[in-house]
């Protein structure tokens, strides 16, 4: 994010403050990706954002406070990409919608490794209080899978816990790949992840048919 | 190490102090330091012990269940959930506290997850059609559900999860042997019906 000009620039104080806050959040996401949670300090975030330490504390009470804000920002960025991809479909086009949602999820991570890192890895291990947010984030994606989903192949509604397990399982797989340094290759996982997500709702045979149909 | 499991489950790893540990375990501070470098070492030893314990039980249960693969899976799952139900403190320590306690501890968590994925790969039927990542997503999904159950304070009732989780982990394999292939048209109508 560009720094603002120094000195007299005619920008409103609110604008400057919002810009500083956004820069700090982006700064934290970058620094976190490079050095991990433990080594991320307020000074490093400030340096990266070109914001003084005293200005940092005007926006955030602590490193964790900034982390929480950055985490929310990261999750909302991903959510927006998924929702944009899903809105191309009618309500009744469940499996194409799930497919495009998952594709958007994978591409938003693959194109932004720092975003993937805070969302999938650091969000889980940055300490108590942070993983509450990871959990809330994972849960918040479950409705995108369940909305408009078909009944179980054997009849009856697919249990909520199955949707939770699918979303949690995807998050776990992606987190493992990000940790292993394979973030750029996440998009290759689309067929696997899609088949895994569709199977409990459509049955293995139908899920496979959809995947092989492309 | 039992004291560590109890305390980290009750109050979290961070808040657990060496003083609390020696009091709970009823040992002298010196004894603790004779055996461990410090708090993290006690924690890691406790996590390692619990992971050994639970993976041993799961492997045994899988091996003991003869017959169909689905029975082995159910046996392994039952052993895992049974361990969680009987050892709620150790389960919380391994599946919640370890993730964020220290970087080494989170690496141990990843390692434990990897171990279960390996076990899955070794014992699942070789099915060329299934995604290569199926073990990772299934184990990750099971871990997530159990994690939620523990966080809700329901570790003691972990075995209630058995039917749902069995169905979940076996569903990708159903199409292979059990279900006859459904014609595409029929499945599509299922999709449409459920939206009404």
B145-196 tens-digit pLDDT: 999 999 999 999 999 999 999 999 998 887 544 433 333 333 333 333 333 3
CA A128-A132-A136 angle, to 5 degrees, is 165
User: Would you tell me how many other CB atoms lie within 10 Å of the CB of residue B38?
Assistant: 10
Asked if B14 reaches chain A (Cβ–Cβ under 8 Å), the answer is yes
Cβ(B102)–Cβ(B117) below 8 Å: no
How many residues are recorded in chain B?
196
Say how many C-beta atoms besides its own lie within 10 A of residue A126's C-beta: 25
Residues 166-185 of B with CB under 8 A from A: 167-168, 171-176, 179, 181-182, 184
What's the pLDDT band for B49 if we cut at 50, 70, 90? very high
Chain A contacts of B190, Cβ < 8 Å? 150-151, 153, 202
DSSP string, A120-134: IIIHHHS-TTHHHHH
Smallest CA-to-CA distance from B72 within B172, B169, B140, B176 is with B169
CB–CB of A206 and B187 under 8 A?
yes
Average pLDDT, chain A: 90
Q: Could you report the per-residue pLDDT of A172-207, keeping only the tens digit for each?
A: 999 999 999 999 999 999 999 999 999 999 988 889
Element (H, E) at A53: helix A53-59
CB–CB contact B100 A130 (8 Å):
yes
> How close A213 comes to chain B (CA, Å)?
11
Q: What is the pLDDT of residue B194?
A: 38
Chain A residues close to B96, C-beta within 8 Å? 131
ipTM: 0.85
Residue A166: its pLDDT value, please?
Answer: 96
Distance CA B139, CA A169 (A): 7
Output phi, psi for A61, to 5 deg. Answer: -75, -25
Residue A69 above 90 pLDDT?
Answer: yes
B96: which 2 tokens? 């919640």
pLDDT digits 0-9 by tens, B97-111: 998 888 899 899 999
């Amino acid at each position: 994010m560009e720094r603002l000009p120094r000195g007299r620039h005619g920008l409103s104080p609110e604008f400057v403050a919002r810009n500083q806050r956004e820069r700090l959040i982006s700064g934290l996401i970058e620094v976190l990706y490079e050095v991990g949670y433990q080594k991320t300090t307020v000074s490093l975030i400030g340096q990266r954002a070109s914001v003084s330490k005293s200005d940092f504390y005007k926006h955030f009470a602590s490193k964790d406070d900034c982390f929480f804000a950055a985490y929310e920002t990261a999750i909302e960025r991903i959510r927006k990409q998924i929702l944009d991809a899903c809105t191309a479909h009618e309500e009744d086009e469940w499996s194409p919608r799930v497919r495009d949602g998952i594709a958007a999820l994978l591409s938003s991570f693959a194109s932004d490794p720092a975003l993937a890192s805070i969302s999938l890895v650091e969000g889980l291990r940055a300490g108590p209080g942070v993983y509450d947010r990871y959990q809330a984030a994972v849960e918040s994606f479950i409705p995108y899978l369940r909305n408009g989903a078909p009944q179980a192949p054997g009849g009856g509604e697919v249990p909520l816990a199955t949707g939770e397990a699918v979303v949690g399982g995807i998050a776990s797989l992606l987190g493992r790949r990000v940790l292993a340094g394979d973030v750029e290759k996440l998009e290759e996982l689309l067929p696997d992840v899609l088949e895994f997500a569709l199977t409990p709702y459509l049955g293995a045979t139908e899920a496979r048919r959809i995947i092989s149909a492309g | 190490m039992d004291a560590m499991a109890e305390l980290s489950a009750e109050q979290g790893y961070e808040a657990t102090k060496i003083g609390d540990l020696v009091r709970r375990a009823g040992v002298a501070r010196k004894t603790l330091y004779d055996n461990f470098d410090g708090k993290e070492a006690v924690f890691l030893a406790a996590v390692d012990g619990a992971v050994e314990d639970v993976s041993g039980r799961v492997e045994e249960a899988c091996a003991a269940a003869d017959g169909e693969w689905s029975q082995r899976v159910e046996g392994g799952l039952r052993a895992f959930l049974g361990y969680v139900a009987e050892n709620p403190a150790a389960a919380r320590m391994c599946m919640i506290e370890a993730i964020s306690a220290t970087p080494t501890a989170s690496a141990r968590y990843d390692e434990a997850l990897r171990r279960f994925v390996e076990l899955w790969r070794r014992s699942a039927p070789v099915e060329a059609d299934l995604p290569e990542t199926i073990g990772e997503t299934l184990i990750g999904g099971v871990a997530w559900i159990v994690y939620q159950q523990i966080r809700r304070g329901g570790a003691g009732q972990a075995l209630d999860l058995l039917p749902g989780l069995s169905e979940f982990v076996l569903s990708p394999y159903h199409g292979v042997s059990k279900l006859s292939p459904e014609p595409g048209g029929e499945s599509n109508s299922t999709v449409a019906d459920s939206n009404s």
